[in-house]
Amino acid sequence: MNTIDPSAAIGTSVLASDPDWWRGAVIYQIYPRSYQDTNGDGIGDLPGIIQRLPHVASLGVDAIWVSPFFTSPMLDYGYDVSDYRDVDPMFGTLADFDELIATAHDLGVRVIIDLVLSHTSDQHPWFKESRTNSNNPKSDWYVWADAKPDGTPPTNWLSIFGGPGWEWDGGRMQYYMHNFLTEQPDLNFHNRDVQDALLDVARFWLERGVDGFRLDTVNFYVHDPELRDNPPLSNTEISDAIAPRVNPYNFQSHLYDKSRPENVDFLERLRLVMDDFDSITSVGEVGEDQRGLEIQAEYTEGSDRLHMCYGFDFLSKPFPTGERVAEILERFQRIAANSWACWAFSNHDVVRHTSRWSLSDEAHRAYMALLLSLRGSICLYQGEELGLQEADVSFEDLQDPYGIRFWPSFKGRDGCRTPMAWDADAAHGGFSEGKPWLPVAEVHTAQAVDAQHANPTSMLNFYRAMIAYRKTQSALIKGSFAVIEADETFIAFKRELGDSTVLCAFNLSDEPRDMTLPDGNWQIDETAPFNVSGTDTNPVLPPWQALFAELT
């Protein structure tokens, strides 16, 4: 079912053509398995997303990012693709996907899909052929290497899911590389035919009307052809931003198994394909501890690579004090002056930030206002708008192979992937009429969409108000950024675009904060969704409050 019906209105859109729409866009991530189930099997599906698109549109976001829905054995829940050009039956059909595109566009929402290009499932036809022998047409489509004389793997490379990054194949009598599960063999990007096949995949979805791609593990595409060992890190260099601290993956400097300079060639080829279509964007996920911002800058430099990238600066454990936020933003501007950032606090791979940083509702609101004021585009993860905490998933209910591997020191990613709660009084929070693939957290049902929708002071309505306010200020969307003051519990910065200058200040503490506005004729914006006392020159920010002022 891979053909496109030429009579269908695929690729059409009521959205205005705007090649620059992605700059400053707010993008809402949907994890399909956990959004809405419509057939009672306990697994969310594409018709469920379609059903809930009015909720998404009510937030005021510019686009959705839909995590993988391709045909897959689901060992890594869709990130192990066995057919890039079809929808897994558990999620629906290609016709459902076409309806999703059309419905989203009718609601003024663009659609970005998650492309997993660094690896496939071992059930993909390409790998099945590749592993048969060493001289078939696809024998070099994956990363194969001989064992060392003693039979051990060719390098010391490790899998991010634990253990060696190589798996022995008795058919070919060689090892194949895998950065993740052993069932996720890595494609060989040094083979031009592999690149061409993946570019054809991108064209297939662009022709169906997608508005862009989120590129999974974009810095993992290319490996060192010389198969050199990674050097160790010193104890002071080790961090757990990318992998949990119990994972030995953190012990290496990953110079040779990822983030290779040859990657840029493929990104430039991919950009050429995207530029053949109207108003397309791309956002790459850069998983890198030591050189994350530098790689983001390299991958987005100029206009012939990716449009934007995001790293784990705000997806990791360290608390985002005012000083830390200022340091990250100013460092990005130094390193990537000609690039555009994409920022996120939560996604499907990390503990929800409400729990990760132990935020109260008031603190959550302050930090969300801060996120929506940063220079760059913004990714929100489903359930953020409800203020959801990380769910506590018992070992018996655990599905994530990553969590099962490192339990109990690391509980995996299931806690952020539990189903959305739509109806506080319905079974399973209105997510499904059947038993959900992961249990709906009881604490989440009280935060369900219907319980918050009509409450003007709810977290949901705060998100709507803050996103709407952002859209009234062009400087917040595409303006420049300059820090005025930052300390442990406070940050103030300016955003400027043309004749518009907006001052943004955030009290990140439980105590009131006196402040003095910079020189100039500043007018505190009382339409912003926060309360501020004092005067226009010496305002007082209550605990966990923000101030927005315009230079008149």
Q: Give CA separation, 266 vs 116, 118, 223, 299, 459, in Å.
A: 14, 12, 13, 10, 42
Confidence of residue 9 (pLDDT cuts 50, 70, 90): very low
CA–CA dist 539, 524 (Å, integer): 9
DSSP 95-113: HHHHHHHHHHHHTT-EEEE
Q: What percent of the chain has pLDDT over 70?
A: 97
Mean pLDDT confidence for 47-59: 98
Q: Where are the alpha helices (DSSP H) in 119-274?
A: 125-130, 192-207, 263-274
CA–CA dist 474, 495 (Å, integer): 9
Confidence of residue 473 (pLDDT cuts 50, 70, 90): very high
Exposure class string for 1-12: b at 16+ Cβ within 10 A, else e: eeeeeeeeebbe
Per-residue tokens: 550: 């315009």
Residue spans of beta strands (DSSP E) within 245-388: 281-285, 308-310, 342-344, 377-381
CA–CA dist 246, 254 (Å, integer): 17
The 10s digit of each residue's pLDDT in 353-369 is 999 999 999 999 999 99
Considering Cα of 267, then 268, then 269, then 275, what sign does the dihedral take? Answer: positive
CA–CA dist 133, 130 (Å, integer): 7
* Cβ-proximal residues to 507 (8 Å cutoff; 6+ apart), any chain: 366, 489, 490, 513, 541, 542, 543, 544, 545, 546
CA–CA dist 239, 233 (Å, integer): 10
The mean of the pLDDT values for the chain is 94
212: β partners: 112, 281
Per-residue tokens: 5: 């019906």
pLDDT value of position 531: 72
- Please state the separation of Cα 125 from the chain's center in Å: 28
Contact 100, 145 (CB under 8 A): no
Mean pLDDT confidence for 115-129: 98
Residue 202 has pLDDT above 80, yes or no: yes
| Domains defined for the chain, CATH in brackets | 26-119+192-470 (3.20.20.80), 479-551 (2.60.40.1180)
pLDDT value of position 16: 83
The 10s digit of each residue's pLDDT in 64-94 is 999 999 999 999 999 999 999 999 999 999 9
Count the neighbouring beta carbons within 10 Å of the beta carbon of residue 41: 15
Considering Cα of 45, then 51, then 55, then 61, what sign does the dihedral take? Answer: positive
Exposure class string for 157-185: b at 16+ Cβ within 10 A, else e: bbbbbbebbbbebeebebbbbbbbbbbbb
pLDDT value of position 534: 62
pLDDT value of position 538: 86
CA–CA dist 280, 307 (Å, integer): 9
**Given the residues 96, 167, 257, 285, the one annotated as active site:** 285
* Cβ-proximal residues to 43 (8 Å cutoff; 6+ apart), any chain: 33, 37, 90, 91, 432, 436, 437
pLDDT value of position 1: 33
Residue 159 has pLDDT above 90, yes or no: yes
Count the neighbouring beta carbons within 10 Å of the beta carbon of residue 274: 18
Most distant pair of Cα atoms in the chain: their distance: 77
What is the pTM (predicted TM-score) of this model? 0.95
pLDDT value of position 535: 64
> 126-134 contacts: CB < 8 A, separation 24 or more?
126/187, 126/197, 127/185, 131/169, 131/171, 131/172, 131/176, 132/171, 132/172, 133/171, 133/172, 134/172, 134/174
The 10s digit of each residue's pLDDT in 280-293 is 999 999 998 878 88
The residue type found at 294 is E
Q: Give catalytic status of residue 390 as yes or no.
A: no
Contact 416, 351 (CB under 8 A): yes
pLDDT value of position 10: 39
The 10s digit of each residue's pLDDT in 406-446 is 999 889 999 999 999 999 999 999 999 999 999 999 999 99
**Given the residues 114, 186, 216, 384, the one annotated as active site:** 216
Give the total residue count for the chain: 552
Beta-strand pair 26-30/480-487: unpaired
Confidence of residue 4 (pLDDT cuts 50, 70, 90): very low
Q: How large is the angle between the packed helices 94-106 and 46-59, nearest 10 degrees? A: 10
Residue 160 has pLDDT above 60, yes or no: yes
pLDDT value of position 3: 35
Residue 6 has pLDDT above 80, yes or no: no
Q: What percent of the chain has pLDDT over 90?
A: 89
The 10s digit of each residue's pLDDT in 400-409 is 999 999 999 8
* Cβ-proximal residues to 24 (8 Å cutoff; 6+ apart), any chain: 376, 377, 476, 477, 478
Q: Give catalytic status of residue 425 as yes or no.
A: no
Contact 155, 227 (CB under 8 A): yes
The 10s digit of each residue's pLDDT in 489-547 is 999 999 999 999 999 999 999 999 999 999 999 999 989 998 776 667 789 999 999 99
